[in-house]
Structure 1
Amino acid sequence: METAQIITHDNRKIYPDIYSVKPGPVQILRVPKMQYVTQEMSTTFHMNWAGRPEPLDEQWIVWKIVNQLKQITKKSIGYKFKLMPTEIIWHSINDDDKYNITHMMQVPDCITSEIYEEARANVEKNLRGQTVPKTKFVVEDSTISAQKLHVGHYQDTLLTLQEIENYTEEQGYRIKGNRREIYLTPAMQCHLPETWKTIVRVEIDKLD
């Protein structure tokens, strides 16, 4: 008797407007309700590494938890999924010249807080007594956002943000909160900087 093959779900394909953005003008769109594993960090970044900004002084634990989520959902409910790109919300620079950021990774709707807690517990067990940074399982409501694909070095994404700011103001919107960057360039691959792809996104609302 043949065993049924488990389909691998890829949220890049499920949400192409969110994660498969093509080069072009600024877009205004509704981002659906989505959920993430997140980690608040204050860290220094070396922005020349091909793949994503590299943390120099803190451990990124989000991907370890999401890898555990993959194992749990595949075994318990037969749901297999691909890892999503690293996302960072950039908040501010503190007195130590470190960036205050939220590191996050989107996870499927089938993930619950109970499954998340099980995955985190597995990571803590695997790290054998090491201090595991705080993380959260977060559900974000649907928002109206503006975004544009930045192609080039990460250090230049503020130029794309300025394009977004100019366009949204012309269209009668204002930006709410901090910018989010989604790093589409696969980690650990040595692409030339001019090929790196980053989605720059901000939440917006209509001016009164």
Structure 2
Amino acid sequence: MRQPAGKIDFKKTLDCYRARQGQFRIVEVPPLQYLMIDGHGDPNTSAAYAGAIATLFPVAYAVKFASRTGLGRDYVVPPLEALWWADDLSVFTSARDKSRWSWTAMIMVPDWIDAELYEAAVATAARKGSAPRLTELRLASLGEGTAVQTLHIGSYDDEAEVLADLHDRFIPSAGLRMTGRHHEIYLSDARRVEPSKLRTILRQPVTVVASAG
């Protein structure tokens, strides 16, 4: 990643953090590095999901401060993201049975963050005692490549129609097929924004369908 002067905001410098409502756009997502925690179950009721969020943010800010003070490289902590998957995709588009969802909650960190700085940030969070799932946290890269994404404005529970249109109409009609896991980027803080105004990027990694000839 090229570093502009001052504090970097990756939502503005990376094209894969841009999306428009009502538009499905094919993008190339570069390999990115994330803080990650895995889990299963309804995010609205799962203690594991709440614990994941309560762990990711303290470590993400500890990493940011370590980068700023130790490396002189400052940036805006990127938004919360999550990968979602299930054996039956209908639990996302029709049944919406969240108890059957598996997930990886994550926050992106810059590629200049190495294992040593990450471990120091984890130690800082551990001393403060505010990160309940530290032992399950990992630093890992994700390479999604080609993907289709759009911006959804509204409640998370209202995503089903958009996802059905993406999965069942746009992707097949574009000669593509789904490959990776459904990916959501939460541009709004659900604790402070009313559901009808939530802004969420919905992303689906894809590949080109091989021609019969």
How far apart, in 1, do the equivalents of 2:160 and 2:133 lie? 34
Q: Secondary structure at the match of 1:204?
A: strand
Q: Over aligned residues, Cα RMSD in angstroms? A: 2.4
Contact 2:41 2:101 in 1 (8 A): yes
Residue 75 of structure 1 corresponds to 69
Q: Work out which of the residue numbers 139, 142, 149 in structure 2 matches 1:140.
A: 142
Residue 89 of structure 1 corresponds to 83
Contact 2:84 2:102 in 1 (8 A): yes
**CA spacing shift, 1:200–1:129, aligned 2, 3 Å:** closer
Q: Work out which of the residue numbers 181, 190, 212 in structure 2 matches 1:178.
A: 181
Q: Work out which of the residue numbers 135, 148, 151 in structure 2 matches 1:149.
A: 151
Residue 111 of structure 1 corresponds to 113
The alpha-carbon deviation at position 190 of structure 1 amounts to 3.1
Gaps of 5+ in 1: 1-5, 47-54
Matched ranges for 1:18-57 at <5 A: 18-46=16-44, 56-57=46-47
AA in 2 matched with 1:7:
G
How far apart, in 2, do the equivalents of 1:142 and 1:37 lie? 16
Task: Name the structure with the higher strand share.
Answer: 1
**TM superposition score normalised by structure 1:** 0.83
AA in 2 matched with 1:127:
G
How far apart, in 2, do the equivalents of 1:151 and 1:187 lie? 12
How far apart, in 2, do the equivalents of 1:114 and 1:172 lie? 43
AA in 2 matched with 1:87:
E
Deviations 1:104-163 (A, max 9, x none): 111112211221111112212221896634111111235000111111110121221112
**CA spacing shift, 1:86–1:129, aligned 2, 3 Å:** closer
Gaps of 5+ in 2: 88-97
Residue 92 of structure 2 corresponds to none
The alpha-carbon deviation at position 44 of structure 1 amounts to 2.8
How far apart, in 1, do the equivalents of 2:141 and 2:10 lie? 16
Identity of aligned residues (%): 24
**TM superposition score normalised by structure 2:** 0.81
How far apart, in 2, do the equivalents of 1:158 and 1:35 lie? 28
How far apart, in 2, do the equivalents of 1:128 and 1:163 lie? 40
**CA spacing shift, 1:85–1:203, aligned 2, 3 Å:** same
Paired residues in the alignment total 192
Contact 1:26 1:163 in 2 (8 A): no
